[in-house]
A and B are shown apart, each in its own frame.
Chain A
């Protein structure tokens, strides 16, 4: 027997259904504006005077149900479905696809109540929890949607909310009760990840601000340097985040053995150290079309290639146990083109010569030196080692007596003789950061590591 007892057939009075429809419509108006759902709700309102035929045969009921499903009349479909017993409902629900289940669930929410509504909603949720969840979200039932999420694992919760609009997610977050910290954390994480992926940094900051300090730091450490810089710019209205994102910043001056003092900037971020120098690139000589920009870009790229990601600043014990700042901070080095910079590099187009740097300006020759036809990348990095890091040369030069000469494949040494391929920045060239960082991590042991 598939038909339900007549006593279980729902025949809600039109006024009752009208109240439900008004409430549902209001919730929809607060929602992200799912036009299709809004259309359904309007349709359901127009059908508010429909009543179930109590004298249908099982065959007629089934035929009416199928016709309603085929034509997308989900209010009648729900009401006809309610005419079957529980097994009959389950078997028909099992034949519907995800989208159909969303429609059916939405219609049941709007047109039914009490036990009858439960008879439709429960098997749909059992078969396709996400369909029920999506329907609840679209109809503004955030509280019920949260009930559905409660028993799920973190991963399953994240999967259910992954497709929500930011507005839907925000309203769901607003409905999370204080005691549901786990669900709230998962929702915040979804919001955070979506905002990061979309480069929506003020939104990301808003999400981040909902976490504990420890959870914020975990997330900050997973960002790239560019991402944390963008977040820093987007988080200005969140005073709490600033010290978590940025540990400190300071300009520093290192003087080479020739007496040239070079000033650059260090920014201690939660996920790494960023060393920058603003440079005004000046064209001199004669460049071919596009060659000036190409050489400028080569300088910038050479610094990245030879200096970024080569070392980390390690902060840790001994001390009085672990502290929040203990970590390895990857070091990023960048030359930042800036037409207003006080430091200039003269790029000599079409000329050969010995590139060199002074405290206030540098010279780079496009053609390199001697038989070279183009200044090698390693020379661009070497010269940048002076102007950005204040690193001294490490090769013999009669005009600099007492210089520390090295033979360990240093970028600042004579790589022409020792081998260009093996040349690398040495940790000694980053050692100044140990002293600099001591002001940000008092009492900790700080070192430079690979």
Chain B
């Protein structure tokens, strides 16, 4: 079910050992390439992207330090990402969505922008930068997503 984005964030951060929470990030289209990342609160991750050398779809999964994703959720909270809304009436041509979904076993919520809007929304840009930094680390630089 859809829930309030900020409530889920608050719940996640309110637990000493959060379980069942997850964070998804997705950007792009088949034309310019897509990147998708799924992070579990326990440090499990699943990434794939076609923004790679030769536009090959590359997939990565595994376990990382749960504090990495916890730090990103904390950043989401500080940046009040839940307040982010579209700033343009319609998407650009060749535009695509950049989304951050957050949830737990029973609820989920989304924040979305058009890629062309990100530069105009610093809160989203800063959160995205943290997510992309983690994606690049976990893919050992294979995923070249720039978030633009």
Contact = CB atoms under 8 A, between A and B. Distances in A.
A45 interface: no
Interface in A377-427: 382-383, 386, 392-393, 395-400, 414, 416-417
Given A354-B115, A358-B88, A363-B116, A386 B94 contact: yes
Interface residues of B, number: 29
A298 to B, nearest CB: 17
Contacts of A65: none
A319 interface: no
Contacts of B114: 399
A259 interface: yes
A256 B95 CA distance: 12
Nearest to A400: B91
B52 interface: yes
Given A370-B55, A370-B144, A398-B97, A414 B31 contact: yes
Contact of A260 (B32, B52, B93, B144): B93
B148 interface: yes
A292 interface: no
A417 B94 contact: no
Contacts of A352: 144, 146, 148
A187 B95 CA distance: 59
A358 B90 CA distance: 9
A113 interface: no
Q: Which of A369, A383, A392 has the most CB of B within 10 A?
A: A369
A337 interface: no
Contacts of B89: 259
A371 B53 contact: yes
A157 B93 CA distance: 59
Given A356-B116, A395-B30, A414-B31, A258 B92 contact: yes
B93 A354 contact: no
Interface string A355-374: 11110001101000111000
A386 B93 contact: yes
Contact of B95 (A258, A370, A396, A417): A258
Interface in B79-137: 88-97, 114-116
Contacts of B97: 398-399
Contacts of A88: none
Nearest to B29: A397
A100 to B, nearest CB: 73
B31 A393 contact: yes
Q: Which of B53, B88, B94 has the most CB of A within 10 A?
A: B94
A353 interface: yes
A260 B95 CA distance: 11
Given A352-B148, A363-B116, A358 B93 contact: yes
A260 B30 contact: no
A398 B26 CA distance: 12
Given A370-B33, A370-B51, A416-B55, A353 B148 contact: yes
A358 B91 CA distance: 8
Contact of B116 (A358, A396, A397, A416): A358
A358 B92 contact: yes
Interface of B: 28-33, 50-55, 88-97, 114-116, 144-146, 148
Pick the 5 closest A-B CB pairs, nearest first: A353-B148, A356-B92, A259-B90, A386-B93, A356-B94
6 contacts: A258-B95, A260-B90, A371-B52, A392-B93, A393-B93, A414-B30
